Amino acid sequence: MSEQESLYEQIGGEAAVNAAVDIFYRKVLGDARINTFFEDVDMEKQAAKQKAFLTMAFGGPHNYTGLDMRKGHAHLVSRGLNDSHVDAVIEDLGATLRELGVKEELIAQVAAIAESTRNDVLGR
């Protein structure tokens, strides 16, 4: 494996995102700590958003800005979204990657990217 290979390539690119999205979304919906936030959403649209999120977290191409993150989560913050919920999502993300056999050092990098959105997601 060349040292130049990006995180996204090392994880497996779009194929990895496609493999991860159902597993991740299923974990989120089954997670009692956070699933109330997903109670009334359109599943197709939500799955597409999860895919965009995973692409970004895997270090792939995306056009999301901090402002998008703020706008996209403001209604959830007003419903009580806080640090514990972000923790749960990052945990579910790690568990998803472990299930797919991704190495721990790569999982840590993905978690760090997800972590970097925390303040925007929580509107701070």
Partner 1 sequence: MAIIRYAKDSYELEDDQSVLDCLTHRGVAVPFSCRSGVCQTCLMRATGGTPTEASQQGLKNSLTLQNYFLPCVCYPETDLEVALPDDADAQVVIPATVKSLRLLNDDIMHVELECHAQIDYRAGQFINLFQHQTLGRSYSLASVPYEDDHLHLHVRRLPQGLVSGWIHDELRPGQTVEIRGPGGDCFYIPGDTEQSMMLIGTGSGLAQLYGIIRDALSQGHTGPIHLFHGSRDLNGLYLFAELRELMAQYANFNYIPCLSGDDVPAGYATGRAHDIAFEQIPSLKNWRMFLCGHPEMVRVTKRKAFLAGAAMKNIYADAFNVSQP
The residue range among 57-65, 83-91, 95-103, 113-121 that interacts with partner 1, by the rule CB under 8 A, is: 57-65
Q: Compare residues 63 and 78 and give the one whose CB is closer to partner 1.
A: 63
Least distance (Å) between residue 55 CB and partner 1: 5
The residue range among 4-12, 61-69, 75-83, 92-100 that interacts with partner 1, by the rule CB under 8 A, is: 61-69
Rule CB under 8 A: say whether 61 interacts with partner 1: yes
CA distance 78 to 67: 16
Which residues from 10-49 bind partner 1, rule CB under 8 A? 14, 18, 21-22, 25-26, 29-30, 43-44, 47-49
Residue 25: both structure tokens together? 């979304």
Give the three-class secondary structure for 123. Answer: coil
Handedness of CA 97, 7, 21, 92 (dihedral sign): positive
Q: Compare residues 10 and 50 and give the one whose CB is closer to partner 1.
A: 50
Q: Given the structure tokens 């109670």, which residue do they identify?
A: 39
Least distance (Å) between residue 71 CB and partner 1: 11
Q: Are 40 and 46 in contact (CB under 8 A)?
A: no
CA distance 77 to 98: 29
Least distance (Å) between residue 97 CB and partner 1: 18
Q: Are 21 and 51 in contact (CB under 8 A)?
A: yes
